[in-house]
Amino acid sequence: MRVSDLRRRLTDKTKIVVLERQARCWVCGDPLMGDAVYSIRLPWPDTRITHACCCLGMVVEPKQRTRIELLIGQCKCAGCGESLRKGSVHFDHRPPLEQRKINRQKTDFIPPQDNPQFLEAIDVPCHQFRTTGRKPGAEKTVTTLGSDVHVAAKLRRMSKPKKPTRPWPSRGIPSRPFRSSQ
């Protein structure tokens, strides 16, 4: 069974949980860790995400897509620590799906692929580096060492049965005959 047979799209709800875990409060800068309140601060008509205790404006409950866009603006990349930008966010599975075991019903992985505890929001160059080993800004991949692709290939190589080898002969290996000196 291949990983691609079990892979599913992440739901918006899962993305929100992952982003809320990585986002920081707009006021105090502490991690939100699921304690997110979406508040509108006047005179600006923009929405900020804060803790409930830091809320200084009117509390609103935006739609899921809007929440994702707002959270992306307040998150940092789990790979490099830079701020995430809309349109350049990927959700990375840690550990990679290729390295996870498949459950008994053969319907999902262990841990499940949509479990937010095992997902990280990262930007596209960091995701490409983690997955294929290509450094940000490079034209081509020089080596895959340390990447998910490298580890997956190594695990596949190691899981293949070894080719049978011919056993060494049990008798001694003869050497060339030497002339006896007389």
pLDDT in tens, 58-100: 677 778 888 888 888 888 898 898 988 888 899 999 999 988 9
Three-state secondary structure call for residue 57? coil
pTM: 0.76
pLDDT digits (tens, 9 = 90+) for 94-146: 999 988 999 999 899 999 999 999 999 999 999 999 999 988 888 888 888 88
Least confident of 27-36, 44-53, 110-119: 44-53
Residue 140 CA to residue 125 CA, distance in Å, equals: 13
Query: Residue 105 carries which side chain, given as an amino acid letter?
Result: Q
32, two tokens: 């939100």
pLDDT band at 170 (very low <50, low <70, confident <90, very high): confident
Other residues' Cβ atoms within 10 Å of the Cβ of residue 129: 19
Per-residue model confidence (pLDDT) at position 130? 92
d(CA 85, CA 70): 10
- If you ran DSSP here, which 8-state letter would residue 106 be given? S
Q: Which residue has the higher pLDDT, 56 or 156?
A: 156
pLDDT of residue 105: 92
Predicted pLDDT of residue 48: 72
Which pLDDT score is estimated for 64? 81
Q: CA dihedral defined by 39, 43, 45, 50, rounded to 10 degrees?
A: -20
Nearest Cα residue to 19 out of 81, 79, 88, 89:
89
In the predicted structure, residue 54 carries a pLDDT above the cut 80: no
